[in-house]
Amino acid sequence: MRPEDEPMRTRFSPLFPRAARSAARTGLALAGLAALLLGWQLLGGHHRAARADAPPGRYTAGTDATTPWVKDGRTGLVWKKTEESGSFTWATAKTQCASPWRLPTVGELLSLVDETRTAVPTIDLTAFPGASGGNFWSSSPDASSGGAKAWNVDFGTGADFNADVGTSGGVRCVR
């Protein structure tokens, strides 16, 4: 077969042909994995970053008039110390936090997850006494669902998931 008739292919080093082919395959596999993960993120995928137990001094407590709050020294976010009472659909959850409070994004809500806890709830109980281990709504819609789902954080497991907007969940307000 003449070189011009050969199908196009990558040329490998004649000194180490097996090693060069193996390296090329590994590189292609890693590039494919990176593209897959990037595509997943662009399509609305979420992941949880590793979090350490809240170190002493991470949270500072205070009160505005009659509203107790907790400031997260790592993120700078200020949270209501208690969750809103009741269970809400996503539409009603978005109206539960009165100004200057608002419903947090899924990333903000995940920043409260304490992955070192082995018991429910997966949140710092010193900073948030009485916190429940239920599902809490975020303000983040699931972009791939056409408005049918939004992101929740389950403080029983510490995981985020998308849920039908008509299901019930809790609310924790942030500013």
Question: Do the domain assignments include residue 74?
Answer: yes
pTM of the model: 0.69
Task: Let me know whether 113 and 149 are in one domain.
Answer: yes
- 32 & 67 share domain: no
- The per-residue pLDDT for range 41-77, each reduced to its tens digit, is 434 444 333 334 456 679 999 999 899 999 999 999 9
Phi then psi for residue 32, to 5 deg, are -65, -40
The answer for residues whose C-beta is within 8 angstroms of residue 37's C-beta and 6 or more apart is none
d(CA 113, CA 135): 12
Same domain, 85 and 154: yes
d(CA 75, CA 169): 24
Indicate if 67 and 152 belong to the same structural domain. yes
pLDDT digits over 126-144, tens only? 999 999 999 999 999 999 9
The whole-angstrom separation of Cα 59 and Cα 4 is: 69
Paired tokens of 160: 């985020």
Domain total in the chain? 2
Q: Which two tokens stand for residue 66?
A: 């009659």
Same domain, 128 and 87: yes
Is residue 9 in a domain? yes
Give domain status of residue 51, yes or no. Answer: no
* Residues 114 and 65 occupy one common structural domain: yes
User: Taking residues 11-39, what's their average pLDDT?
Assistant: 43
Residues paired with 160 in a beta bridge: 153
